[in-house]
A = this chain, B = another copy of it.
Amino acid sequence: MLSNSSKYALKAVLYLANKTDESHKLMVKDLSEPTQVPKAYLAKLLQALSKQNIISATKGPKGGYYLTKENKENPVYSVIEVIDGNQRLEACVLGIDECNAQHPCPLHEYVNPTRTALLSTLKKMTIAELSLDLSNGASFLSR
């Protein structure tokens, strides 16, 4: 469904969402532990997200990664899109050339409705919204 990279990126971004802002930042090593993502690998992912302005960063001492208010309003899907591209979730599950109702694969009718529903959720829901019940202990990023 999602690549390992996307899973890692999402976990890190969700963690950032309710732990950081312009004046509270986190370094990769502080993200690596709670998200269970290897440090060097996570670093590379965060750089990619930063370059696409999905997350914010400042260099040097007292620097680190953080989410601005604007960052937090981005759709959850934007993280996935940067890392995996959009084909991964939108292409035909059986890999035929294009996925549409006029020329469906045998699984289309069973997977497409729920998949497009999920996709639309991911595109509408913001990082902030998704991270909400993480902050009140209703959901988790590891274990």
The residue of chain B having its C-beta at the shortest distance from the C-beta of A76 within the complex is: B107
CA distance A143 to B1 in the complex (A): 22
B95, B111, B142: the one within 8 Å of A118 (CB): B111
CA distance A109 to B108 in the complex (A): 23
Q: Enumerate A112-143 residues with CB–CB distance to B below 8 Å.
A: 114-115, 117-118, 121-122, 125, 130-131, 133-134, 138-143
Cβ-defined contact, A134 with B106, below 8 A: yes
Tell me how many chains of this kind the complex includes: 2
- Does A57 interact with chain B (Cβ within 8 Å)? no
- Does A93 interact with chain B (Cβ within 8 Å)? yes
CB contacts (< 8 Å) of A103 on chain B: these are 140, 143
